[in-house]
Amino acid sequence: MIEDTQDSLFSDAHPLAKDVPHVVPLPGVYLMRDNTGTIIYVGKARNLRKRLQSYFQVNRPHDPKTSMLLSRAASFETITTHTEKEAFILESNLIKRHRPRYNVNLKDDKRYPSLRLNIAAPYPNLSIVRKPAKDGALYFGPYASAGAVRQTLKFINKTFKLCKCRCEPLKKRARPCLNYQMGLCMGPCFSEVDREAYKEAVHEVIAFLRGRTPALIRKIEKQMAAAAQTQNFERAAMLRDKMFALRQTLEKQVSVTTDFKDRDVVGIAVENELSVVTLLRVRGGFLLGSRHFVFENAMGSEPEQIDAFLRQYYTASPSIPREVIASHLPADKNLVEEVLSEQKGAKVTLAAPQRGDKEKLVRMALQNARQALEEQFRQKDSSLDLLQRLQKQLRLQRLPRRIECFDNSNLGATEPVAGMVVFENGLAQPSAFRRYKLKPSSKPDDYAYMAEVLRRRYEKEDALKPHPDLLLVDGGKGQLNVAMAILTDLNLTGAFDVAGIAKKNPYAGEHQDKIYLPARANPVQFSREQDLLLFLQRIRDEAHRFAVGFQRKRRQGRAMHSLLDGINGIGPKRKAQLLKHFGSLARIGSASLEELTSQPGISESLARSIKEALEVH
């Protein structure tokens, strides 16, 4: 009787509804796949059967995003867990691994720099890192840009004078470094430095980076008064300069609360297919910065998206505040608090304040999120307008939402390579860029190189990748003809539009780059649509930069192999270590014996062998 009722319930519903009664009513995770088998959504549930029934019941209304998901779902599978918490963690891991289209997918934070302070070292110093690790060091950030973190580091180096040497353990120098001579370093690599004085400077840096600037100023002010009282005027003057520098920095910060606590503030704005989550970092009552996270086609209500964001963001974050306030609380608030508390090692609370200073902070986050969302729509509208005009100007078959551009690079006939860059909706997509090692030849042959890379991109397994709407090749009519010949050979003629971009020839009286199209003798004239030409030039320049960078890296690797491999005592690990530390073969060759011996495993005799090998060249 129960089976009959369930069959009638799902008889006119989604085709997958018939599989729901067989799902166990236990906690777990469900994965939805499209007709190619690709995972398009991952969700968790306290009761898997009830959760899936909510998707597939007859006449149940759904929002547009859920309707789009269900229209593409061809199958689903479930993974049961013992507890809801296990499902919570498993869902996060699966989203991170598969990055489904309709989930909130937080991009990898490697492009956002942080500051690392290794407090276990005898003389801790700061370094810029892209990916925090669980290594016992303290991490601060991430910062919104490389410029912001360099500016902060510059201020700290000038004000607190920590050691700048990157080698661990620290090795003594025969003479002081330039930083010491400029008064930017205490010089532990050159002379004995009072450990307690250095330790105090480290604590001051930590206080500054944690937003404790007002308390730090009060402390330095007392020290300055004490130094003046004992007539130690040199120290008093040094403390005065430090206090003035900190006050100038403090004036640039915005005080937002009077309780001087650390907290993160999260607000979300959603419209159509776009969501923007804004996070404000408040430390010691001062607003230190904000970041916007943009998601497309993210499933779920505002509380569900906040839930997914919090779990993903703090999994990768080097520091978690004791309090997170948000515009919407996750349905699994207690579970999120438990997971974050375990990760931090101290209690973390979530709240959605309705009044007072905290509510004003949430309103600030919401306002910033809405402004960022409006800016996203403006950019989309601007990009759409540009692409529509480009389609009209070049008479393309389709709107060029996805543009792929190829460029080759070689030095003579050695180490030929090619690079492919991808622009979608007018923006570069670095994750889709591809590098190609090409077959070497007796002499340079740009046509053969272009033919090889296009064939490799558009045949066999590469053909499964999404085709571009517009293929742009760097070169004139010759490269364009090669591209058309390869596409004809692969039965792809007409599958997408093709164009060639050639540099101007000033000696022939040309004043701008030229765009060639198949079956057209003369280049396209852009007249008043110069921004379209500039857009195509930007794509070409990015392809050139990408290919040249890869070629340079290949040459450098070959040079390292040929010059260092013959030195007894230099293996692959030490080669990689030297190149990572000094940055290039030239810098290794110009390094002093002291700098070389500061590297682990490099003795003085080995350093001399390296110098001799490189000086010959």
572 plus 538 within the same structural domain:
no
| Gap between the Cα atoms of 366 and 408, Å rounded | 46
Identity of the residue numbered 479: Q
Residues 6+ apart with CB under 8 A from 529: 389, 393
Tally of residues, the chain: 617
Torsion 609-611-616-617 (CA) sign: positive
- Tell me whether residue 393 is in a domain: no
Residue 4 has pLDDT above 60, yes or no: no
Residue 386 has pLDDT above 80, yes or no: yes
8 plus 69 within the same structural domain:
yes
Structural domain boundaries, residue 571: 565-615
- Tell me whether residue 391 is in a domain: no
- Tell me whether residue 103 is in a domain: no
Q: Is-above-0.75 flag for pTM?
A: no
Count of the separate structural domains present in the chain: 5
Residue 97 has pLDDT above 60, yes or no: yes
488 plus 416 within the same structural domain:
yes
Other CB atoms within 10 Å distance of the CB of residue 524: 18
Residue 164 has pLDDT above 90, yes or no: no
- Tell me whether residue 456 is in a domain: yes
- β-bridge partners, 144: none
243 plus 126 within the same structural domain:
yes
pLDDT bracket for residue 213 (50, 70, 90): confident
Higher pLDDT, 58 or 232: 232
- Tell me whether residue 389 is in a domain: no
| Helices 48-56/64-72 angle, 10° precision | 100
- Per-residue pLDDT of 550-587, as tens digits, reads 777 766 655 555 566 667 777 777 877 787 777 677 77
573 plus 533 within the same structural domain:
no
Residue 616 has pLDDT above 60, yes or no: no
Q: Take residue 159 and report the two structure tokens written for it.
A: 């004000």
Residue where one domain finishes, among candidates 375, 394, 418: 375
| Closest alpha carbon to 78 in 19, 153, 122, 127 | 19
Residue where one domain finishes, among candidates 356, 375, 394: 375
The most confident of 94-103, 160-169, 536-545, 606-615, by mean pLDDT: 536-545
- Per-residue pLDDT of 513-555, as tens digits, reads 889 999 888 888 888 889 999 999 999 999 999 888 877 776 6
123 plus 248 within the same structural domain:
yes
Residue where one domain finishes, among candidates 98, 133, 168: 98
Q: What pLDDT shows up at residue 29?
A: 93
- Tell me whether residue 549 is in a domain: yes
Q: What pLDDT shows up at residue 366?
A: 93
Q: Take residue 449 and report the two structure tokens written for it.
A: 């190189």
Residue 8 has pLDDT above 50, yes or no: no
- Tell me whether residue 502 is in a domain: yes
Q: What pLDDT shows up at residue 248?
A: 72
% of the chain exceeding 90 in pLDDT: 22
Q: Report the CATH number that the domain containing residue 38 is assigned in CATH.
A: 3.40.1440.10
Q: Report the CATH number that the domain containing residue 330 is assigned in CATH.
A: 3.30.420.340
546 plus 413 within the same structural domain:
yes
Q: Report the CATH number that the domain containing residue 608 is assigned in CATH.
A: 1.10.150.20
435 plus 537 within the same structural domain:
yes
271 plus 335 within the same structural domain:
yes
Question: Is there a cis peptide before residue 506, judged by omega within 30 degrees of 0?
Answer: no
269 plus 250 within the same structural domain:
no
Q: What pLDDT shows up at residue 477?
A: 87
- Tell me whether residue 390 is in a domain: no
Strand 414-424, strand 434-437: pairing: antiparallel
79 plus 115 within the same structural domain:
no
- DSSP classification of residue 571: -
Q: What pLDDT shows up at residue 167?
A: 57
73 plus 187 within the same structural domain:
no
- Per-residue pLDDT of 444-480, as tens digits, reads 778 888 999 999 999 875 555 788 999 999 888 889 9
- Per-residue pLDDT of 304-341, as tens digits, reads 899 889 988 887 676 788 899 999 998 888 888 988 88
